Amino acid sequence: MRAKELSDLSDQELAVKERELKESLFMLRLRQRTNQLEGPAKMGQTRRDIARIKTIQHARARGAK
């Protein structure tokens, strides 16, 4: 996802999206360990999406203070 798309989401939606991405990343790591992962780039993309969400959440928390 793009940062602009993520910044349009509410705080609750961001938390849900982060949880979903973390679960997806876990499953990707599991597939990698069992040699069933077809596209290793998907792991990197998922990690970057999680980082984008955390960045937006941190910026909002700092802005609220």
Which pLDDT belongs to residue 64?
76
Write out the residue range of the structural domain in which residue 18 sits.
3-64
What global pTM score does this model have?
A: 0.88
Residues of the chain with confidence (pLDDT) below 70: 65
Number of neighbouring beta carbons within 10 Å of residue 52: 20
Q: How many CB atoms lie within 10 A of CB 62?
A: 8
Looking at the 3D structure of the chain, how many domains does it have? Answer: 1
Exposure string (b/e) for 12-22, b if CB count within 10 Å is 16 or more? eebeebbeebe
State the pLDDT at residue 18. 96
Please report, for the domain that includes residue 31, its CATH number: 1.10.287.310
